[in-house]
Chains A and B, each alone.
Chain A
């Protein structure tokens, strides 16, 4: 049991917390929150505010400014908002709202302040189809009703946050999963069809649209997408067809997962998820570099695969290459000297081109018949192969071809980086 003295201390602590809490809340509430719509500053009779760390904004005024109509049932304390064919139902004090009949959970329940319903900022974007970004330094919530994405083949203009999304490259499918956007249609994976196992559970219900090198345009059209995400390497030829179906955003580099994540997060209004992911990624890269022994720092990494035709290939470009570069590794000198991004090695006499301090091999059994693995065995059993520095030092590793090469998405990057902790013996 508590002694009288302990009780007194306990009560004093409670009193202290109680005395401080309103002051903190008052400070938060006192901060002026600005709202802009397409750059124009808005003013409201009831000011937006921060309550319990959530930014709440006047929903009716914003909905009306965006062209919506609002009806309020005072008895049921329920607001019904109609905009561009969508219906949003909100109830004062309830964290559950409905968008076109489907229940969604709000970060905080709508608050009635002098007859004005305030809702969490994030919900404004989700329910009204506008892009919302929060600028912490100026305490400004910027709402955008339109976004344009300029790329090498043109400009895609979107007039609302897309809901029906089609993704035409595997890295983009991975990124969609990360951003919690389930595409209505996506290209199927190279192996482990329909989608790579590590993301498959998140893609139940997504229609497959064929290979990323040759997607089925008719199937894409039948999905009536709001936006199509493609890449210059794969979809330049069919871009005019795609752009007729829906605004098409073309990525500049299939394997540039960080840029692709950034662009796709802007398209999907999911920049917050992307920036959290990138902050985590950067922290992990820093951790990896810190833990890597100095004897290994800057080691020359050879990234290779054996091709189905029996030749080998060294990569001086691509997804895994970019990650090794970011981690501070180098490229084997012999490979650099070729000046090529993808070096084809056709005979054992050239095998030294595959050497490195570490050799990572992501050979893929594309056809599942094991033929390419026989080629791999032939390469790795030769005397010349066994004489490579990386092999002699037991630094030749066969790695996961999906997460190191075939996918090319942000989640795959995270898995590859995690694998490197294994290969470089890091805790």
Chain B
């Protein structure tokens, strides 16, 4: 009985290997086809690939390094929290905190934005512009607090929409 089971197991293993090989070939073939015909993968192509061209055209976050992110939901939560605490830091004239928070926001956004679908480029550009403006304004020698809070509010609303788009709300 034991022998038969082992024999059956070996036969099964062989079948699995054949199926895997066939699947691999099929995947290779369909993969090439999709790439040529511009199928579903093409449709869901992310904006991330265009980052280089945007950067060369004056990406406001070009100098920011993307934060390493393992958990997008936790990163999104941190981002929302930072947007709120940034406002409080500005209103209480806490310059060091505000600068650190703005830079962290930009870094998180740089990572998360890589998941933005191409058709959401308006939202992506708005977030980039707001964060770029925020970084510039927070580093200015003399603060325009109203502008900083306005930009932060715009980020708050924009990121609320982004969370829905990225399905991380």
Contact = CB atoms under 8 A, between A and B. Distances in A.
A and B bind: yes
Given A415-B160, A422-B152, 15 more contacts: A394-B145, A396-B146, A397-B149, A397-B153, A398-B146, A398-B153, A399-B153, A415-B157, A418-B160, A419-B157, A422-B156, A425-B85, A425-B87, A425-B88, A427-B84
A400 B157 contact: yes
A419 B156 contact: yes
Nearest to A403: B157
Interface in B98-125: none
A169 B11 CA distance: 70
Interface in A383-427: 394, 396-400, 415, 418-419, 421-423, 425-427
A398 B152 CA distance: 12
Given A394-B91, A398-B150, A421 B84 contact: yes
Contact of A422 (B87, B145, B146, B161): B87
A422 B83 contact: yes
Nearest to B145: A394
B20 interface: no
Interface in A154-210: 198
A378 to B, nearest CB: 15
Interface in B147-167: 149-150, 152-153, 156-157, 160-161
Interface residues of A, number: 16
A59 B157 CA distance: 47
A399 B157 CA distance: 10
Secondary structure type dominating chain A contacts: mixed
B30 interface: no
Interface in A323-370: none
A425 B157 contact: no
Interface in A35-91: none
Contacts of B152: 422
A-B pairs, top 5 by smallest CB distance, nearest first, are A422-B156, A425-B88, A394-B91, A422-B84, A398-B150
Contacts of A394: 91, 145
27 contacts: A198-B161, A394-B91, A394-B145, A396-B146, A397-B149, A398-B146, A398-B150, A398-B153, A399-B153, A400-B153, A415-B157, A415-B160, A418-B160, A419-B153, A419-B156, A419-B157, A421-B84, A422-B83, A422-B84, A422-B87, A422-B152, A422-B153, A422-B156, A425-B88, A426-B84, A427-B81, A427-B84
Contacts of A426: 84
A191 to B, nearest CB: 15
Contacts of A396: 146
> Which of A400, A422, A425 counts the most chain B CB atoms within 10 A?
A422
Contacts of B81: 427
A415 B160 CA distance: 9
Interface string B24-39: 0000000000000000
Contacts of A398: 146, 150, 153
B130 to A, nearest CB: 14
Contacts of A400: 153, 157
A195 to B, nearest CB: 16
A353 B149 CA distance: 24
Nearest to B154: A400
Interface string A118-134: 00000000000000000
Nearest to B160: A418
Contacts of B83: 422
Contacts of A425: 84-85, 87-88
A407 to B, nearest CB: 14
Contacts of A198: 161
A397 B152 CA distance: 11
A143 B19 CA distance: 55
Nearest to A197: B161
Contacts of A397: 149, 153
B23 to A, nearest CB: 29
A397 B84 CA distance: 14
A399 B146 CA distance: 12
Interface string A306-335: 000000000000000000000000000000
A32 B145 CA distance: 65
A224 B145 CA distance: 53
A399 B83 CA distance: 16
A419 B153 CA distance: 8
Interface in A84-120: none
A364 B25 CA distance: 60
Interface string B69-93: 0000000000001011101100100
A343 B157 CA distance: 29
A396 B150 CA distance: 11
A425 B153 CA distance: 12
A425 B150 CA distance: 15
Nearest to B122: A197
A400 B81 CA distance: 20
Contacts of A418: 160
Nearest to B92: A394
A413 to B, nearest CB: 15
A398 B84 CA distance: 16
Contacts of B145: 394
B85 to A, nearest CB: 8
